[in-house]
Amino acid sequence: MLGTMQDRPLALPHIFERAERFFPHKGIITADATGARSRRSYGEWAERTRRLATALDGLGISADGRVGTFCWNTAAHLELYFAAPCSGRVLHTLNIRLYPEQLTYIVNHAEDEVIFIERSLLGLIGPLLESFESVRHLVVIDDGAPTPLPEGYDFIDYEELIAGSEPATFTIEDENQAASMCYTSGTTGNPKGVIYTHRSTYLHTMAAMLADSVGTCERDVILPVVPMFHANAWGLAHAAVAAGADLVMPGPQMTPPALADMIVEERVTLAAGVPTIWMGVLPELEGRDTSALRVIPCGGSAVPKALSEAYREQIGLPILQAWGMTETSPVASVARLTSAMEDLSEEQQADLRAAQGMAVFGVELRIADQLTGESLPWDGETRGELQAAGPWVTGDYYNDDRAPDSFTEDGWLRTGDVAVITPEGFVRIVDRTKDVVKSGGEWISSVELENEIMAHPQVAEAAVIGVPHPKWSERPLACVVPVEGAELTKDDVLEFLDGRVAKWWLPDDVVFIDEVPKTSVGKFSKKDLRDRFGGHVLPTAE
Ligand code: ADP
């Protein structure tokens, strides 16, 4: 061998120590349940995190025990984000919006030994406490809410726990040990557990700091609206600490007016959330000073072109679309236009921004025939199942026998998304495999139809599902939410679509609804719509 580089483990203490050593005066602003905001410097945060790690020893949490959190995006949650993994344990963020039976399932499946709960969330989790089989301690974090403590349990006070412990030192020797875990939101069946290792988190953090991906840096003031309890707040919590960026944590203050106030008053430079959040926030920003904003990463579901363009027109900044999954840590592709694309027309550029973009450095993506597994060409037209591989893409689910179907023989993740890839390598998701409308032998993309309908100025939201049809097996039904006060008819919608989509894609019917039901993470819940309209009789079926 000619020589080797040092193989020091890629582990979370390095990320933690960057903020502690280099940026002790930068820090985290958190909004509490009363709406008040308070600041904690990284210096204070680091000291408290080290004490918290010792406290986990004091509670007798196993060396690799699972530490559950039931928290908003807050400074305390960020302490747990590092205290658990840096002391060898596994942080298990519980998605507060899962159905009760799913929460019970994941706490028991992960065998959480302790759960840290923010006080404003006690009402949600209280009734479930008796169903948790492995939990030995409950710690309550005061976030200003007056919620009473459920009777019959001994709650430990978070502040007392920290105050009563000495600071720990952190050493992780095996970079492949688990650092944290997150369960998918389980749109079908029970949620599946994904384990993130120290190494995968470290590398994903570096990827989030690349200029051509999300590009987080020291000068940023980052508002992660995307929750820390689902898919790692898209890596922003780790990346902010690594870079020394300031964080603005919204806590329970998740309404559009509260978020808009934070963006303006804290001079946020980077704010990340799902499309439904940005739909609500835009009107609240009207006429206000948003000059500090430089990037609005958005993903979790397709970003409608109309939404991105509305941001470009109102505040001069289009949305930066990113694609990923719980299984991909989650950042896997980002729709940052390349220099060559700058010569395209405004319209073409807007179209590209509405795509899911290019695989970020470190991740490999391909499309394949769902049945034969054959790899498909990148011609911008051929549709196939999107598959992913890379050092922060999972190769397995935690203790789950449903796992084999989710991976190819050569170990790539089958994402369940249907996509085309352009010759330049831009991915465009056309649907999820289970949401495409199978009309005759052909597929109609529900996402593309929705986007076209949502471009109608009188439409607030639209979702398309396939409903049974005697001749075509399935045909599209458009479920449309008109903007307040609009008088919209089925013919208005169909006329608008005429010429925008192929004739045979036109929905067979349009129903008007008050709201598109959302999943636990704010995505359109096609499952709920299918439950409600699956039996809808299409006029064309008679
Ligand atoms: P789940 O909702 O299954 O728990 P995730 O939150 O991990 O899962 O969601 C991953 C899925 O979300 C992707 O497979 C894809 O269908 C969808 N998704 C994420 N980002 C985008 C995006 N930018 N455009 C379209 N779909 C997206």
Domain residue ranges in the chain: 12-26+39-203, 437-533
pLDDT at position 542 over 90: no
Residue 64 has φ and ψ, to the nearest 5°, of -120, 30
Q: Ligand 1 center to residue 523 CA distance, Å?
A: 8
- The DSSP symbol for 279 reads H
Query: pLDDT value at position 97?
Result: 86
Q: Ligand 1 center to residue 231 CA distance, Å?
A: 10
Tokens for 102? Answer: 């799913």
- The DSSP symbol for 501 reads B
**Nearest 5°: CA angle at 501, between 500 and 502?**
135
- Specify the ligand 1 atom closest to the Cα of 520: 2
Query: pLDDT value at position 94?
Result: 97
Q: Is 400 helix (H, G, I), strand (E, B) or coil?
A: coil
Give the C-alpha separation, 187 to 115, whole Å: 24
* Protein residue with least CA distance to atom 24, ligand 1: 302
Q: Is 169 helix (H, G, I), strand (E, B) or coil?
A: coil
Q: Ligand 1 center to residue 325 CA distance, Å?
A: 5
- Name the one residue in this structure whose structure tokens are 């950042």: 331
Residue 81 has φ and ψ, to the nearest 5°, of -55, -30
> What is the amino acid identity at position 57?
D
- Marked catalytic residue, from 49, 184, 197, 328: 184
- Specify the ligand 1 atom closest to the Cα of 416: 14
- Mean local confidence (pLDDT), 162-173: 98
| pLDDT tens digits along 4-21 | 888 899 999 999 999 999
Fold matches, 12-26+39-203 and 437-533: no
Ligand 1 pocket (Cβ < 6 Å) reads 184-185, 187, 231, 299-302, 321-326, 356, 415-417, 429, 432, 521, 523
| pLDDT tens digits along 303-332 | 999 999 999 999 999 999 999 999 999 999
Instruction: Give the residue ranges of DSSP H helices in 301-374.
Output: 305-315, 346-353
Contact 137, 155 (CB under 8 A): no
Query: pLDDT value at position 301?
Result: 87
- Name the one residue in this structure whose structure tokens are 């073409």: 348
Give the C-alpha separation, 228 to 235, whole Å: 9
> Across-strand partners of 27?
41
Query: pLDDT value at position 434?
Result: 82
- The DSSP symbol for 89 reads -
Count CB-CB contacts under 10 A for residue 151.
Answer: 6
Q: Ligand 1 center to residue 286 CA distance, Å?
A: 29
Give the C-alpha separation, 209 to 214, whole Å: 6
Q: Is 425 helix (H, G, I), strand (E, B) or coil?
A: coil
Query: pLDDT value at position 540?
Result: 86
* Protein residue with least CA distance to atom 25, ligand 1: 302
* Protein residue with least CA distance to atom 11, ligand 1: 325
Give the C-alpha separation, 358 to 378, whole Å: 12
Q: Does the structural domain 12-26+39-203 have CATH classification 3.40.50.12780?
A: yes
- Marked catalytic residue, from 104, 443, 490, 518: 443
Longest dimension (CA), the chain: 76
Query: pLDDT value at position 188?
Result: 62
DSSP string of 439-460, one letter each residue: ETTEEE-HHHHHHHHHTSTTEE
Q: Poorest-confidence range of 54-63, 157-166, 270-279, 434-443?
A: 434-443
- Specify the ligand 1 atom closest to the Cα of 386: 14
Q: Is 327 a catalytic residue?
A: yes
- Mean local confidence (pLDDT), 128-135: 98
pLDDT cut 70: percent of the chain above it: 99
> What is the amino acid identity at position 382?
T
Give the C-alpha separation, 262 to 27, whole Å: 15
Contact 208, 392 (CB under 8 A): no
* Protein residue with least CA distance to atom 12, ligand 1: 300
Q: Ligand 1 center to residue 115 CA distance, Å?
A: 27
Residue of 323, 431, 450, 526 with the most ligand 1 atoms within 8 Å of its CB, for mutation: 323
Query: pLDDT value at position 351?
Result: 96
Q: How far, in Å, are 198, 216, 351 from residue 300 at the CA level?
A: 24, 19, 18
Q: Ligand 1 center to residue 327 CA distance, Å?
A: 10
Q: At 1, is the pLDDT very low, low, confident or very high (cuts 50, 70, 90)?
A: low
pLDDT at position 532 over 90: yes
Residue of 99, 228, 301 with the most ligand 1 atoms within 8 Å of its CB, for mutation: 301
* Protein residue with least CA distance to atom 13, ligand 1: 325
- Marked catalytic residue, from 327, 452, 461, 474: 327
Give the C-alpha separation, 85 to 13, whole Å: 9
Residues in the chain: 542
- Marked catalytic residue, from 104, 408, 422, 438: 438
- Specify the ligand 1 atom closest to the Cα of 523: 2
Query: pLDDT value at position 518?
Result: 87
Q: Is the pTM of this model over 0.85?
A: yes
Q: Is 443 a catalytic residue?
A: yes
* Protein residue with least CA distance to atom 5, ligand 1: 325
Query: pLDDT value at position 186?
Result: 64
pLDDT at position 187 over 70: no
Count CB-CB contacts under 10 A for residue 242.
Answer: 24
* Protein residue with least CA distance to atom 2, ligand 1: 185
Q: Ligand 1 center to residue 299 CA distance, Å?
A: 7
Query: pLDDT value at position 11?
Result: 98
| pLDDT tens digits along 86-99 | 999 999 999 998 88
Q: Mean pLDDT of all residues in the chain? A: 95
Q: Ligand 1 center to residue 412 CA distance, Å?
A: 17
Query: pLDDT value at position 226?
Result: 95
Q: How far, in Å, are 241, 256, 298 from residue 294 at the CA level?
A: 19, 19, 13
- Mean local confidence (pLDDT), 113-139: 98
- Mean local confidence (pLDDT), 134-155: 97
**Nearest 5°: CA angle at 41, between 38 and 47?**
120
Q: Ligand 1 center to residue 2 CA distance, Å?
A: 44
- The DSSP symbol for 307 reads H
pLDDT at position 404 over 80: no
Residue of 278, 358, 429 with the most ligand 1 atoms within 8 Å of its CB, for mutation: 429
**Nearest 5°: CA angle at 83, between 254 and 86?**
125
Interstrand relation of 413-421 and 384-389 (parallel, antiparallel or unpaired)? antiparallel
- Specify the ligand 1 atom closest to the Cα of 328: 7
Give the count of alpha carbons within 13 A of 382, CB side only: 14
Q: At 359, is the pLDDT very low, low, confident or very high (cuts 50, 70, 90)?
A: very high
Q: How far, in Å, are 100, 116, 147, 529 from residue 125 at the CA level?
A: 8, 11, 12, 27
| pLDDT tens digits along 261-293 | 999 999 999 999 999 899 999 999 999 999 999
Strand order in the sheet with 331-334: 297-298, 320-324, 331-334, 358-359
Q: Ligand 1 center to residue 451 CA distance, Å?
A: 16
Give the C-alpha separation, 263 to 282, whole Å: 11
Q: At 448, is the pLDDT very low, low, confident or very high (cuts 50, 70, 90)?
A: confident
* Protein residue with least CA distance to atom 10, ligand 1: 325
- Specify the ligand 1 atom closest to the Cα of 432: 16
Q: Is 171 a catalytic residue?
A: no
Query: pLDDT value at position 432?
Result: 85
Give the C-alpha separation, 459 to 477, whole Å: 15
Q: Is 184 a catalytic residue?
A: yes
Tokens for 375? Answer: 């790899």
Residue of 417, 418, 436, 526 with the most ligand 1 atoms within 8 Å of its CB, for mutation: 417
Tokens for 389? Answer: 């591989």
Query: pLDDT value at position 378?
Result: 98
Q: Does the structural domain 437-533 have CATH classification 3.10.129.10?
A: no
Tell how far CA 145 is from the center of its chain: 26
Which of 21, 330, 325 lies closest to 185 in space, CA to CA? 325
**Nearest 5°: CA angle at 407, between 362 and 416?**
85
